[in-house]
Structure 1
Amino acid sequence: MFDLTLSFDNGPEPDVTPGVLDLLARRGISTTFFVIGEKIADPARRTLAERAQAEGHWIGNHTYTHSLPLGRQPDAAMAESEITRTQAVLGDLARPERLFRPFGGGGQLNDGLFRPSVVKHLEQERYTCVLWNAIPRDWNDPENWVERALDQCRTQAWTLMVLHDLPTGAMRHLPRFLDAAAEAGARFRQDFPPDCVPIRRGEVILPMTDYVSNLD
């Protein structure tokens, strides 16, 4: 038995996200979609995020361009604008508790996630920062990620998994993963493990040293 929170990064995508939403609706599973700001600026993709929200999923900020981890951005103002531009385009898609997930550059939890100025911005604007503890690399290995994901779930009591609703073919295997997880005793939930949330409503509640560069 284990708890499992699913999240989907880097969408929405017209050829993938509808199928993911259909499957989640059939299974009665609520998740969070951490979306890219420049994608939400496209009306067709925004409609998908609106559907996800209407069906009970949470919508979070995952930067505007997803081009370079914020801790590696050479310009502090650009790093902050990656967040603020996305939040502006999200508008009423955003939750009252502003959810933000940084770009990890391949899912890495290291000092590339933030600059000190970005942490200060998240505090001032009262964001909740959501990290992760499971990355099955579905974008990199779209045919063989399921067993890796299941192994990651079995190693901890509560998994916050990052998947990607991208046109890689990986989401064709999402039904198999959900079946196997349920058979293994997964309890699907929408909230986040406390150890994956270092900032909650602008308050730093877990050590951030390992996640912050010294660029500022």
Structure 2
Amino acid sequence: MRRLTISFDNGPTPGDTEKVLDALASRDVLASFFVVGDEMAKPGARETLERVHAAGHWLCNHTLTHGAPLGRDEDAARVAREIGMAQDLLGPLSHPDRFFRPNGEGHFGKHLLSAAAVAYLAAGGYTVVTWNNVPGDWIEPRDAWPDRALATMENQAWSLLVIHDFLVGPMADTLTRFIDTARARGFEIVQDFPPSCTPMVRGTCGAHIVDVAMIEAAP
């Protein structure tokens, strides 16, 4: 059976994230939320994160500021700030595997992680999570993102979808329809990540790290 894993980036967004949670709950789906440190510090965000966690979804690190990708420079201090401070803000709500998704501006390349970033992640025992299905929920018409996601899914044995709670929340009906359609087409919705999208697991890089072109100098 083909698989689908759903993940959300760039939250939390109080008001919108809750709508996503309600939609997921209505379909008994567990997902992962890759959250940004600056967003976690906003009013109401902690309560939203606690609701995400209580519902059984995974909370994961998506940098402190979602600024320039970490492969654009070798500034070790910036790496520690972007990854470490976001992890500190997550605190006990973080998944034990310390899932981290780099900001890649939607595509793969050596801009994802510098050697300094890879070393920091390895030393901290992080698991790096990438993606293989980005349907562009910001592209007009925005409510057509499910069609774009499903088209990509048809050519993949296991899709790791990236959408955004602040965009999907206001049109949560598209999420429930998408889930219903995916299941009707025979996709099993799981919470785990496909191995091809985890080039580093608990601090250890897999042999396929070059396949996602992150960095050849990985430890």
Equivalent residues of 1:39, 1:46 under 8 A apart: no
User: How many residues are matched?
Assistant: 213
1:197 aligned residue: 198
* Off by >6 Å, runs of 4+ in structure 1: none
Q: Quick one: which amino acid aligns to residue 185 of structure 2?
A: A
Q: Name the Cα RMSD after superposition.
A: 1.8
1:11 aligned residue: 11
Q: What SS is found at the alignment partner of 2:143?
A: coil
Q: Quick one: which amino acid aligns to residue 103 of structure 1?
A: N
CA distance in 1, matches of 2:199, 2:110: 14
What TM-score comes out, normalization by structure 2 length? 0.91
Q: Determine which of 194, 210, 215 is the counterpart of 1:212.
A: 215
* 5+ long unaligned stretches in structure 2: none
What TM-score comes out, normalization by structure 1 length? 0.92
1:177 aligned residue: 178
2:189 aligned residue: 188
CA distance in 1, matches of 2:42, 2:216: 32
Q: Quick one: which amino acid aligns to residue 81 of structure 1?
A: R
CA distance in 1, matches of 2:35, 2:203: 20
Alpha-carbon offset, residue 213 of structure 1? 8.8
Which 10-residue stretch deviates more, 83-92 or 178-187? 178-187
2:112 is aligned with 1:113 = yes
* 5+ long unaligned stretches in structure 1: none
Q: Kindly report which structure 2 residues correspond to 1:44-83, keeping only aligned pairs within 5 A, or say none.
A: 44-73=44-73, 75-83=75-83
Alpha-carbon offset, residue 171 of structure 1? 4.2
Q: Quick one: which amino acid aligns to residue 48 of structure 1?
A: T
2:34 aligned residue: 34
Equivalent residues of 1:139, 1:170 under 8 A apart: no
Alpha-carbon offset, residue 187 of structure 1? 0.4
1:103 aligned residue: 103
